[in-house]
Structure 1
Amino acid sequence: MIVRIMGEGQVTLDDSHVAELNKLDDDLLEEVQSRDEEGFRRTLGALLDAVRRLGTPLPDDALEPSELILPSPDATLDEVREMLSDDGLIPG
């Protein structure tokens, strides 16, 4: 799967990591819904760090269709709230 982190670029991520990322995504959705700013910051950082750690960056000049788009690390809670569906950022 190709994942884009807004403002950073794209990474290729093996589908086997989706379950691990879904746990963070579920936590993030809960924190956004409860407007827990501290938890939101912590979990968004952990989610993006996991994608960077588990994924392989694509070259800067590559432009592939992204199957998943994640917010930038400095995204606000309200910006992420607008991006979320009822299922979170990562389709299960």
Structure 2
Amino acid sequence: MIIRIMGEGQWEVPDSDLSIFNEIDGQVEHAVTTGSQTELTAALTQLVATVKAHGRPIADEEITDSDLIIPDEAATVEEVSQLLAENASGEGLIPG
């Protein structure tokens, strides 16, 4: 699975790690629901760090489609709320 972190690039991560990302995604959704920027920043920081720890960076020269796009740690509640609203599946940032 290819995950793009907005403003940072792409990482290839094993599909088997999806459950780890889904757990953190639940924290992101909770933070947006409660409007807690502090909680959101912590969850996004953990999500980005987990992608980087479990993934292999893809060179900028390599052009490949992303399976998932996640915001970076600096995203606001409003920005992430908009991303969640645009996801027709209603499954958060990470479907699964």
TM-score range, shorter chain: over 0.9
TM-score, with length taken from structure 1: 0.95
Q: Distance in 1 between matches of 2:59 and 2:7?
A: 14
Deviations 1:21-77 (A, max 9, x none): 100001110110110111111011000100011000001111200000011221111
Match of 1:83 in 2: 83
Is contact 2:5–2:71 with CA below 8 Å preserved after alignment? Answer: yes
Partner secondary structure for residue 3 of structure 2 = strand
Secondary structure, in 3 states, of the residue corresponding to 1:7? Answer: coil
- The alignment's TM-score, normalised by the length of structure 2, stands at 0.91
SS in 2 for 1:3: strand
SS class of match (2:59): coil
Which residue is equivalent to 1:36?
Answer: 36
> Is the Cα contact below 8 Å between 2:4 and 2:70 reproduced in 1?
yes
Equivalent residues in 2 for 1:1-92 (5 A)? 1-84=1-84, 85=87, 86-92=90-96
Question: Structure 1, unaligned stretches of length 5 or more?
Answer: none
Q: CA RMSD in A?
A: 0.9
Shift of 1:89: 0.2
What's the secondary structure of 1:74's corresponding residue?
coil
* Aligned partner letter, 2:22: N
Residues in 1 aligned to 2:23 and 2:30: alpha-carbon distance in whole angstroms: 11
Structure 2: segments with no counterpart, 5+ residues: none
